[in-house]
Structure 1
C-alpha cells in the first residue's frame, strides 16, 4: 500500500488558480475524503495524483516516489468514475478483467482473481451479463471490481455514487466502507455530499476555492468547525448561521438574544448553532432566546424539522416526532448556549470564547 503527499502544490489553468499551495499527507491505508462544492479544486487535486493533470508548482509523492511527470500507467493507481465507464460490448467478467488483460496476466491467474473480486462485490452470479442488463448499483460494483482486481497502491474515486438513487447510495456506502477496511488500500474519495464524507472517511479535507479550510475526522469537523464556511457546509440540515453583533458577551440579532458569549464585543459577528441544539418551548417562558412564528414543520419519521422566520432568514430546529405546532403559531426557542459557535463576520474565522 502507499501514502500520498502533496507539498506546496499549485495548479493553474491560465490565470485561474484551481488549487493553491496545497499541503497534505494521506496516510497509508487511510480513507481520505476531499469534500467541497463544485469548483473548489477537489477533482483537480485527485486528477493530479492520477497523472491526468500536471501540477503547475509543487511536488506529489506516492510513498517516497515523486510522481510529477510520471505517466499515469506507471503510478499504480486505480480510478472509479461517476459515469462507471464500462465497455458496453464486454461482459461483466471481461470488464472486470480488462486491466489484467492489458497487463498480460496469465489466463488462469486472471480468471482466479476475477472470481475472487466478483465474490467480494456480490457479482459472481452475473459474470456473463452485459452492462445494459445491470442496475445502476450493479454497474457501480463492476467499476469497483475492475479497480480492485488490479490491487493498486491507491484507489481514486470521483463521486462514484452520485448517479445512484438514495437507497442504493446508502447500500453502496456501507459496501465501500467495508471493502476499504477489508482491502486496506489507501483511498482518496472526492464528493460534494457531506453525508458521504461523514459516513465513509477516516479524515475529511474540506476544500473551498482551491485550499483546505479544515482537515480532521468527521467528528472533529462536525463538532469543532474552525471557519464559517465549514460550519455551514457540514450538517444536514446545515447549521443555523445568524448575523448580528456581540455586546458585552450578549449576542443580539433580529429577535434573538443569547447571553454567555464571553466578555468581548464583536460588532460584526455570526452565531452558529445546529438544529439539534435549538429547542422549542412555550412562547410565554421567561428565559426564551427567541419568540417567532412557525414557517413550516416537516415530519421526517424520527423527528420533526421546524423552520422559524427570523428576520430575513429561516432558523431550523429538530423537535420531537410528536411535535404538533402549526404554521404561523408563535413558539419560544431555547438555545443550548454551551453548543453555540461564534464567527467573525469579516474574517469568517471562529472566535473562541
Structure 2
C-alpha cells in the first residue's frame, strides 16, 4: 500500500504561511491533482512529500510510514519536473538508466530494463541520441522513463507539460493517463491548468491561499462547486459570475439580469454563476429570457461559437451553436438552463443552496 497522508500539515516561510492545516489522503494507486494558481501552496505541498521542504507542523505518511525526518533518497518517490532535468552529455539510454547505475544494478539488467521502459514510452528508437537532439515531447518522455524505471512507491509530477506546445500537451496527457493506469502507481500531479486536472485526475484538490477549497472527482468539482473561487477557476471558458442581489428567491443585477426560482434565498451582495454551455440564445420576445444584451464579440472554435455579451459591467460568455452568426452590438436574448445556475454569497464566498 502506497497511500500518502497529510495530518494537520503546516508550512511556513518566516511569517508567511504557504500551507495551512492540510488534511488529505491520497489513496493507493490514485492519480490526484493539486490544482490552483501560482502561490496557492500546491508545489510546496508536493515538495514536502519529496522531502525537499521541511514540514513546519503536522505529519506526512507514505505507505503508513511517517516520513517527516526521512531523507529524500529514502522516501522511495520519483519526481518529474517542468524543466525535464536531463543530463545533456548523456544519451537517452544513459539518462533513463542513471537511477539503476547509482544503485549499482548489473549492466545486463540495466540494458534490459532500459529497453523495456523505452518501449513503454516509445523511445526505443532514440536511445543513442543526446537530449539536444530531441523534441520537447521526447525529452519529457525521457524524464518520465527515468522516473518509471525506479519503480517508486509514489510519482510526483510538477507541471511536467507546461513547456510543451498545445498539440503536444494533448498527446502527452493521454500518454500520462494511460501510463498511470498501466503502472498503478500512486501519483501526485501539480498544475495550474484546469484542463489537465479535469482530464487526468481521479480526484482534484483545488487549492487557494494554502488551503484546499474543494476535493472531489473532476465531475463533482465541475458540476457542484462549493465556493466562488472553485466556480470561477474550473471551466474553459470559465463560469459566468454576475454580481447582484437576491430577494425572496429572485436575483437581479444592474446589467438587467433577472433569475427567479431561487427558493427563499436573500442576500444583499450575491453572485450568480452559470456556465457558458447552460446559456441558450432565444428567439426575440421569448418568455424564458433572463437578459437582453448587445454582442461584444463572436469567436468560432470549430465545434461551437463563443458569443460574449455585455450586460452592464458584466461580460457573459455563451457557448452557442457552431452555425451561430451575429454582428457587434446586435441585441440578443438569452436564457439560463433551469436548475443549472449557482448562487454564492459575496462576503463568505460560499455557495448558497436553495
Contact 2:11 2:57 in 1 (8 A): yes
Match of 1:45 in 2: 45
Match of 1:85 in 2: 85
1:16 aligns with 2:8: no
- Three-state SS of the structure 2 residue aligned to 1:8 is strand
**CA deviation vs aligned residue, 1:130-182 (integer Å, no higher than 9, x gap):** 00000000000000000000000000000000000000000000000000000
Match of 2:321 in 1: 320
1:130 aligns with 2:135: no
* Cα distance in structure 2, aligned partners of 1:76 and 1:278: 49
Q: How far is 1:245 from its partner? A: 0.6
Match of 1:225 in 2: 225
Contact 1:259 1:337 in 2 (8 A): no
Match of 1:272 in 2: 273
- Report 1:171-210 matches (<5 A): 171-210=171-210
Contact 1:159 1:191 in 2 (8 A): yes
Contact 2:6 2:23 in 1 (8 A): yes
Match of 1:29 in 2: 29
Match of 1:307 in 2: 308
Q: How far is 1:45 from its partner? A: 0.2
Contact 1:228 1:349 in 2 (8 A): yes
Q: How far is 1:325 from its partner? A: 1.3
Contact 1:34 1:42 in 2 (8 A): yes
Match of 1:73 in 2: 73
* Cα distance in structure 1, aligned partners of 2:312 and 2:180: 46
* Cα distance in structure 2, aligned partners of 1:185 and 1:224: 28
**CA deviation vs aligned residue, 1:50-107 (integer Å, no higher than 9, x gap):** 0000100000000111000110000000000000000000000000000110111111
If the length of structure 1 is used for normalisation, what is the TM-score? 0.99
Match of 1:101 in 2: 101
* Cα distance in structure 2, aligned partners of 1:233 and 1:106: 49
**CA deviation vs aligned residue, 1:203-249 (integer Å, no higher than 9, x gap):** 00000000000000000000000000000000000000001011111
* Cα distance in structure 2, aligned partners of 1:244 and 1:322: 32
Number of corresponding residues: 353
Contiguous gaps of at least 5 residues in structure 1: none
Q: How far is 1:313 from its partner? A: 2.2
Query: Which consecutive segments of 4 or more residues in structure 1 shift more than 4 A?
Result: none
User: Over aligned residue pairs, what C-alpha RMSD do you find?
Assistant: 0.7
1:117 aligns with 2:117: yes
Match of 1:163 in 2: 163
* Cα distance in structure 2, aligned partners of 1:30 and 1:121: 20
Contiguous gaps of at least 5 residues in structure 2: none
If the length of structure 2 is used for normalisation, what is the TM-score? 0.99
Match of 1:336 in 2: 337
